[in-house]
Amino acid sequence: MYNSKIVGLGYYVPESVVTNDELSTMMDTNDEWIQERTGIKERRWVKDSGETTSTMGVKAAKVAIERAGIDKDDIDFIVFATLSPDLYFPGPGVQVQEALAIKTVGAIDIRNQCSGFVYGIAVADQFIKTGMYKNILVVGSELHSHGLDKTTRGRGVSVIFGDGAGAAVLTREEDRSKGILSTHLHSQGEHAEELTLKAPGMGKRWVNDIIADNDPNDESYYPYMNGKFVFKNAVLRFSEVIMEGLMANKLKVEDIDMLIPHQANLRISQFIQKKFKLQDRQVFNNIQNYGNTTAASIPIALTEAWELGKIKEGDTVVLAAFGSGFTWGSVIIKW
């Protein structure tokens, strides 16, 4: 058995910055209202540039591969996490394989929304631990902006989300005391419809139903979120899964050098930081600048924290996410 280790990180966000003030020209909202509830000041949205979820993922992947110091053909497997694929099927994993001209390795798509990158890391970690693969590319990428209800009706959701991509290259680590020490995954499907997008869907409304009705007031193809309920569950599950990971490795809260939480809402991150009595230097947040980029949020934040020198060799790094499904998880890393 081996451990896996992150050896390359990269991210990409669109050039177009959308401020809260700009959103106030589209819907009944304002900067104070958005910042008070979410902590978000601005986000990046793709604007008529031809960018897609897969092309953003490719750009992030190229940076991660270069920083890993390997050739693209050293990649043995691709894991792509997203809720906003270019195509309903196939998923973007194969598009990354094509765009990077990587040999015909396997590609798998993860549909775990906000927990997608954590689940992707867990999948890659297991493949490497067993010796099946040596180098795995894990991508999280989202293009939310083209699917949001940018009217007052949808403001509770639309002000939160941004576009972007992040990527990591994992490789085999012989020293079992280094790299990814453990991963912890959970789900609770009874709350699936508290944070969801119902259409198109075979069990709800399929494309032909939407076309037949031609109803401009049909909200089934816009995201829905029961915000207060999601917040309540998020702070509980974040706490539980972080502690689960620490206990599995005989670590204490004070051993955390850097916590990278999924950037869902700054208020959730602040709640967790206060509960665990962590100092500002022990938690990294960038939702203020990018909004919630779902599966891309952790790799973007992880890359930024590393670039800024906030993560050093030997540090204990914790990744944690909670989102639609409900699904949640954590990753404990000895950097």
CATH of the domain at 131: 3.40.47.10
Q: What is the predicted pLDDT for the residue at 66?
A: 98
Single out the residue in 176, 198, 225 at which a domain terminates: 176
Q: Give this prediction's pTM.
A: 0.94
132 and 30 fall within a common domain: yes
Q: How much of the chain exceeds pLDDT 70, in percent?
A: 97
Q: How much of the chain exceeds pLDDT 90, in percent?
A: 88
86 and 150 fall within a common domain: yes
Of 227 and 109, the one with more pLDDT = 109
Q: What is the predicted pLDDT for the residue at 213?
A: 81
138 and 220 fall within a common domain: no
Q: What is the predicted pLDDT for the residue at 301?
A: 98
* pLDDT of 206 strictly over 70: no
Query: Per the structure, how many domains does the chain have?
Result: 2
276 and 203 fall within a common domain: yes
**Mean per-residue pLDDT for 14-37?**
97
Contacts of 33 (CB under 8 A, 6+ apart): none
**Mean per-residue pLDDT for 302-316?**
98
| Residue numbers annotated as active site | 114, 262, 292
Single out the residue in 176, 211, 240 at which a domain terminates: 176
| Band of pLDDT at residue 257, cut at 50, 70 and 90 | very high
* pLDDT of 249 strictly over 80: yes
**Mean per-residue pLDDT for 40-62?**
96
* pLDDT of 11 strictly over 70: yes
Nearest in space to 289 (alpha carbons), one of 40, 6, 69, 9: 40
Residue 231: cis peptide before it, omega within 30 degrees of 0 = no
166 and 184 fall within a common domain: no
Per the structure, the complete domain to which residue 187 belongs is given by 180-334
Helix (H, G, I), strand (E, B) or coil at 269: helix
Single out the residue in 176, 199, 226 at which a domain terminates: 176
What are 117-166's pLDDT values in tens digits?
A: 999 999 999 999 999 999 999 999 999 999 999 999 999 999 999 999 99
Average pLDDT, the chain: 95
Q: What is the predicted pLDDT for the residue at 202?
A: 62
67 and 196 fall within a common domain: no
74 and 188 fall within a common domain: no
Distances (CA, A) of 19 to 48, 159, 236: 18, 10, 31
| Band of pLDDT at residue 55, cut at 50, 70 and 90 | very high
Q: What is the predicted pLDDT for the residue at 204?
A: 64
* pLDDT of 285 strictly over 90: yes
**Mean per-residue pLDDT for 258-283?**
97
Distances (CA, A) of 139 to 10, 82, 225: 9, 9, 25
| Band of pLDDT at residue 205, cut at 50, 70 and 90 | low
Q: What is the predicted pLDDT for the residue at 9?
A: 99
